[in-house]
Amino acid sequence: MIERYTRPAMGEVWTQKSKMEGWLAVELAATDAWAEEGLVPKEAAALCREKAAFTVEAVNEREETTNHDVAAFIDVVAASIGEEGRWIHYGLTSSDVLDTALATQLTRAGMILVEGATAYRDNLVKLALEHRDTLCVGRTHGVHAEPTTFGLRMAGFAFEADRNLARLKAAAEQVALGKLSGAVGTYASVPPTIERRVMETLGLQREEIATQVIPRDRHAEFLSVIALAGAGIERFATEIRHLQRTEVREAEEPFASGEQKGSSAMPHKRNPIRTERLTGLARLLRGYAQTGLENVALWHERDISHSGAERVILPDATITLDYMHHVVNQVTSGLVVHVDRLRSNLELTHGALFSQRALTALVDSGMSRDDAYRTVQAAAHEAFDNGVPFRDLIGTAAPQLDLDVIFDYDAYLTHLPEVFERLEAIS
C-alpha cells in the first residue's frame, strides 16, 4: 500500500524489520524449547538469545546469494552468534518460521483493526442516540417513501458496524495460530512438545493439523471479513455522498472552513472527498479477498503460489482497512447534520408521504383496498405533481376521515424506543 494511506502503527507491523524480528522470535523460542527438552545445551540457547542479531540490509545482501529469504536470515543470525549459532533453525522448516511469525503480525494488525472498528461503531451509536427523534424522509429506490428519523438510519449503520466488529475479533483470533511440525506436518524433525512450548512463548494457539503450511482458509476468512467490514463502511459512505448533494444537503462531511479547499477552480465547492475515497478503497478490499480465496487450493502438502500474493494482500488489506477506519471516524465524529433541511425535505411531496396512513384509514372506514388504493394514489400524484396539499385532497375525497390522526409525524416515532433500547445494549 502506498505511503499516503499507511498509518504509522499499522505500517510498522509490516516493515521488513518487524517481519524479521518475528522470525527471530520464533527461532529463539524454538531454541529455548529445545533446551528445556534437554536436546540443546541451555548455555547455547542462552548465548543464542543474548547474541542473535541481524540487519535487514545484511539479510537482503545474503539473499542475493541464497535466493531464499529465510535461509539468508538464518545465515546472518547464526553468524552473529558464532559457533553456537548452529542451533538456530534446528529441526525446523522455513514455513514453521514464516507462518508462525505471520500469525504474530496478523494478531498485531487485528488488534489495531478492532480498535478502529470499535471507535467507528461507538461514533455511530452516538450519532444515532443524538438524532433518535430527528425526523427525516426515508427513501426507497432513491425516491421519498415515508418519514423515519436520522437516528434510526444511523442506528442501522451502527448495528452493522457492531457485527463487523464481532467478525473482525473472531477472524483475528482464528489466524492467531502457529505451527512447528516440520517439512510436511508429521513432526518427524520437531516433536509436538517443542511446538507447544513455542506457541506458549509467543501467545499463539497451535494449528491442529498443518501440512508444510497453515491451511489458507484461515487467511481467506480474515481477508473476507476485512472486505465485508470495508463494504459496511462503503454503504455508510454512499449514504453520506447522496445526502451531501446540493439538491438534498441533509448531511455533509466536516469541512475546515478557511483552510480546506474543495476545488482548485470553484471556491464554493465542498465535496464529499472522504466518503468518495472510502468507496474506492472498499473496492480494493474485495480484490484482496478474492485473491485470498484463490490461495486456499495449494498442491499436496504445499506449493508457494500463495506466497507472493500474500506479501501484497495481507499488508495492503490491513493497512487499507486501518486507513478507512481513520477516515470514517473523522466523518462520523464531525458529521454536519442539517436538521432544518431534513425537516423541509419532508414537505417536498406536499404530504403525499402519508399515503399509507390514508390508505389504511380508508380501509378501516369500510372501503375496499383496491378502491382505497386508487383514491389515495390519485390524490398523492396530484399533490406531488401539482403542489396541492395532499391533506386537502384526501379531506375532500374522504370527509369521514380524521385528518389529524392520519397526518401525524409522531406516529412514526411510536415504536422507536424499543429499537434504541437494543442499540444502547451494544455500546
User: So which residues are the catalytic ones?
Assistant: 141, 263
63's CB contacts (< 8 A; 6+ apart) are 69, 72
If you compute the radius of gyration of the chain from its CA atoms, what whole number of angstroms results?
Answer: 30
Residue 148, φ and ψ in degrees, nearest 5: -140, -160
- Write out 324-379 in H/E/C secondary structure: HHHHHHHHHHHCEECHHHHHHHCCCCCCHHHHHHHHHHHHHCCCCHHHHHHHHHHH
**Closest to 190 measured CA to CA, from 29, 27, 30:** 30
* DSSP state string for 35-84: HHTTSS-HHHHHHHHHH----HHHHHHHHHHHS-HHHHHHHHHHHHH-GG
Neighbours of 303 (CB within 10 A): 12
Is residue 323 within 8 Å of residue 7, measured between CB atoms? yes
Place of cell 461507538: 122
Cα–Cα distance for residue pair 196/178, rounded to 1 Å: 10
